[in-house]
Structure 1
């Protein structure tokens, strides 16, 4: 999608105003110090987009198919290349090269519209993504995908991870219940797709140090939060931040600012990866 010059000027003006407010609130000393922060591995930071539904519902977590295509078209026209979690991990752990302007696109829950609406649009632009599924909803609730649809998507490059068995906040459960949610989901995905999932996303975004440790010991290689930010050399691979994308009155403008604003906010030390 092409942004008109007037729209760019408005966005730049809003961002400048925002940063002036931030500078007045936090002071210049901490901001300048953040610019001098050294990165021993010298890795560029990678954005991870976080979607839920792609449909016409009037809900904050629902981005319409038209809006979703606008966003995918923007990424395509601006030279972004989608990557897998495996590529991201190889990059973070050993500095293995990534394509220019890498981006990881993720979805939480496994809604049916991820297959009917988002998937065809992503194929149109040659993009792949990662979907974290709630296994006890799959093939059981008509609002969610079926295992047959998931297998088709997997054969075409989509990656599937765990979002637990029942989408319960793990911090609200006993240790035994939380482990059961992790193990049930992992085992069902392995049974259906032929291999256990490597990656996990915290349901409702809630976690603790104990939960993080359980996710690691259950066999997952990394885990994703809903905290805003980009992934870099200093990121905890079991607390990876993402850029949540919401519906709003100006959905594309919000998408544009959240995607392009994250690097600047991190440089200013306002958000940390």
Structure 2
């Protein structure tokens, strides 16, 4: 009993001592009337931050050790137009800072018309359709460089790398199911080249996570023909369908190969260098931080990107960050479905170094 009380006393003491000694980072994507985080909800988050007298800092300020006690990072991935239309005015209203990680393939120079806001899956699918058709993927659902420059010049927003294309790669030839063209998203369209039913669905990860499994596009039509002739409407058991499909895949290994180490490095280096070059050309800043597409991390890719000048890697791993951060993995808390109460609870936990670390371990 005495030992238990001593342990509890020590824990409570540590929690008190380490309160406001962590740097929580929160992750947003879209903020608009049809997304899971509306402008009104986002403003309530900012009011909570103000209520707790927290200091918003950018990722560059964090790295440069410009970190007052009780600091917080607000981060946004991709670069959607609503970040300019809704987020930027609110940040100016409350004089708060943020960092946005950009996918540069989709950003146009100057906006001609204001778009009707769409969900991110629709946005990216439309962009990829145009990319396959014409080689260009700029779309008005993303911010323009003119808008991004305005935000950067305000000194409230830092812009850093999130890959040029933000696409996926196949990582295995073990079939997981079949495609449904009405449910396919941009990464699948990029991999398959078109939207069709009954293509084989294989495991995928973000392009930065290692060597890809390469599949010749003609195989998908060959598989579809085999499936519709020999399996569809003939076999009803799901496991048997997958078994027969896998047997066919294994019999056609000539359509599959594994990317070489040199090919993998070249692909990563080219995509990141393009991402970095375009941001720096348009803003005149220094791109030193990389946010993992899909949140998929790779120790090997960390070493590749460090050779290209990256000093910090931003993840989707939950938890908090010490004031002397682990720059190989900055942790963030995603807020897609958080109401104000949940935001406040997560904020209070994550700004405490001890509670935030425990949160990270159990998440």
Q: In which range does the TM-score fall when normalised by the shorter chain? A: 0.7 to 0.9
User: What is the alpha-carbon distance in structure 2 between the residues aligned to residue 263 and residue 130 of structure 1?
Assistant: 18
Matched, 1:78 2:47: no
Partner-residue secondary structure (3-state), 1:255: helix
For residues 112-123 of structure 1, what are the structure 2 equivalents within 5 Å? 112-123=81-92
Partner-residue secondary structure (3-state), 1:257: helix
Q: Does the CA-based 8 Å contact 1:187-1:196 persist in structure 2? A: no
Query: Relative to structure 1, is the Cα distance of residues 34 and 272 closer, same or farther in structure 2, using a 3 angstrom cutoff?
Result: farther
- Which residue of the partner structure matches residue 176 of structure 1? 266
Partner-residue secondary structure (3-state), 1:241: coil
For residues 194-213 of structure 1, what are the structure 2 equivalents within 5 Å? 194-213=284-303
Q: Does the CA-based 8 Å contact 1:48-1:230 persist in structure 2? A: yes
Partner-residue secondary structure (3-state), 1:184: helix
CA deviations over 1:93-133 (Å, ceiling 9, x no partner): xxx6x334211111100010000001101110011111000
Partner-residue secondary structure (3-state), 1:44: coil
- Which residue of the partner structure matches residue 253 of structure 1? 341
For residues 12-51 of structure 1, what are the structure 2 equivalents within 5 Å? 44-51=21-28
Partner-residue secondary structure (3-state), 1:53: coil
Query: Relative to structure 1, is the Cα distance of residues 210 and 153 closer, same or farther in structure 2, using a 3 angstrom cutoff?
Result: same
Q: Does the CA-based 8 Å contact 2:321-2:353 persist in structure 1? A: no
Q: Does the CA-based 8 Å contact 1:229-1:243 persist in structure 2? A: yes
Query: Relative to structure 1, is the Cα distance of residues 255 and 218 closer, same or farther in structure 2, using a 3 angstrom cutoff?
Result: same
Q: TM-score, normalised by structure 1?
A: 0.76
- Which residue of the partner structure matches residue 145 of structure 2? 147
Query: Relative to structure 1, is the Cα distance of residues 184 and 32 closer, same or farther in structure 2, using a 3 angstrom cutoff?
Result: farther
Q: TM-score, normalised by structure 2?
A: 0.58
For residues 190-229 of structure 1, what are the structure 2 equivalents within 5 Å? 190-229=280-319
Q: Does the CA-based 8 Å contact 1:52-1:107 persist in structure 2? A: yes
Matched, 1:125 2:94: yes
Question: RMSD across aligned C-alpha pairs, in angstroms?
Answer: 2.9
Which of 227-236 and 181-190 deviates more? 227-236
Which of 221, 230, 235 is matched with 2:320 structurally? 230
Bigger radius of gyration: 2
User: What is the alpha-carbon distance in structure 1 between the residues aligned to residue 269 and residue 279 of structure 2?
Assistant: 16
- Which residue of the partner structure matches residue 41 of structure 2? 67
CA deviations over 1:208-232 (Å, ceiling 9, x no partner): 1101112211112211101111111
User: What is the alpha-carbon distance in structure 1 between the residues aligned to residue 146 and residue 285 of structure 2?
Assistant: 16
Query: Relative to structure 1, is the Cα distance of residues 35 and 184 closer, same or farther in structure 2, using a 3 angstrom cutoff?
Result: farther
Unaligned 5+ segments in structure 1 are 1-27, 38-42
User: What is the alpha-carbon distance in structure 1 between the residues aligned to residue 62 and residue 356 of structure 2?
Assistant: 24
User: What is the alpha-carbon distance in structure 1 between the residues aligned to residue 352 and residue 152 of structure 2?
Assistant: 35
User: What is the alpha-carbon distance in structure 2 between the residues aligned to residue 163 and residue 45 of structure 1?
Assistant: 24
User: What is the alpha-carbon distance in structure 1 between the residues aligned to residue 337 and residue 10 of structure 2?
Assistant: 35
Unaligned 5+ segments in structure 2 are 15-19, 109-137, 168-205, 213-263
Query: Relative to structure 1, is the Cα distance of residues 115 and 44 closer, same or farther in structure 2, using a 3 angstrom cutoff?
Result: same
Q: Does the CA-based 8 Å contact 2:30-2:82 persist in structure 1? A: yes
CA deviations over 1:157-178 (Å, ceiling 9, x no partner): 1110010000121116423212
CA shift at 1:83, angstroms? 1.2
CA shift at 1:90, angstroms? 2.8
Query: Relative to structure 1, is the Cα distance of residues 75 and 233 closer, same or farther in structure 2, using a 3 angstrom cutoff?
Result: closer
CA shift at 1:156, angstroms? 0.1
CA shift at 1:56, angstroms? 1.9
Query: Relative to structure 1, is the Cα distance of residues 252 and 149 closer, same or farther in structure 2, using a 3 angstrom cutoff?
Result: same
Query: Relative to structure 1, is the Cα distance of residues 115 and 231 closer, same or farther in structure 2, using a 3 angstrom cutoff?
Result: same
Partner-residue secondary structure (3-state), 1:226: coil
